[in-house]
Amino acid sequence: MLISFIGFGQSTDKSSQVSAYLESNNSLDQYRFAYDQLLLMLEKNYPQKETNKEGWVYLRDNKEKSIQEMQAMLVPVYERHFELDEISQMTSFYKSSAGKQLVTDRSKMNEEQKEALNTFFNSVLGKKIIEKQPALTSEIGKISEDWSHELYQIAVSLLKD
């Protein structure tokens, strides 16, 4: 019984750490941007009218809920590929000056930041990340595609006359 409880606690810690990682490396900002772009596209095809006003309100009010759903789908991908201590190291890197600059504007990294980046990606963990990249890209791509498709279908159903 105690082993099950410990396992559950570790899973919760790992899930929380993956969530922190996804925020720190700006992954979720990409989905926020995609959500905003979808709304811009939909505004052209389904301008707000009295008949779809509630749909527009729903879509605007539920952006973060949709992003949280996306995050919940991404967490298991990282949990399958990385250990808790690895996720913690990844999060720490992206919270560092080098990590922040990497996701903001890589071209403006100073020498110290570039050195930290090289050190990180030449480490055992960095090499593992590079090795796992094809699998991560494939799994995340599928999840992203499903999320986008479902979001589009819901949006159109809410906005069409």
Does some domain include residue 77?
yes
Is 14 contained in some domain? no
Does residue 76 fall inside a structural domain? yes
Instruction: Judge contact between 151 and 144, C-beta under 8 A.
Output: no
pLDDT of residue 5: 45
Domain enclosing residue 118, as ranges:
24-159
Indicate the pLDDT class of residue 161, thresholds 50, 70 and 90.
confident
- Which amino acid type is present at position 59? L
pTM over 0.95, yes/no:
no
- Position 11 in a domain: no
DSSP reduced 3-state for 87? helix
Six-digit token string for 142: 């599928």
Task: Tell me: pLDDT of 4 over 50.
Answer: no
9 pLDDT more than 90: no
Question: What CA–CA distance (Å, rounded) separates 37 from 40?
Answer: 5
Confidence band of 1 (pLDDT split at 50, 70, 90): very low
Tell me: the pLDDT tens digits for 78-119?
A: 999 999 999 999 999 999 999 999 999 999 999 999 999 999
User: Is 7 inside a domain boundary?
Assistant: no
Q: Do the domain assignments include residue 61?
A: yes
Does 13 fall in a domain? no
Q: Does any domain span residue 17?
A: no
The residue-averaged pLDDT of 11-34 equals 93
Overall residue count recorded for the chain in this entry: 161
Domains in the chain, number: 1
Residue 10: the pLDDT is 52
* pLDDT given for residue 2 in this prediction: 45
pLDDT of residue 36: 97
pLDDT tens digit sequence for 31-52 = 999 999 999 999 999 999 999 9
**Between residues 64 and 161, which one has the greater pLDDT?**
64
Query: What's the pLDDT score for residue 140?
Result: 97
- The pLDDT of residue 12 is 75
128-141 in b/e form (b: 16+ CB < 10 A) is: ebeebeeebeebee
Cα torsion through 89, 90, 92, 98, rounded to 10:
130
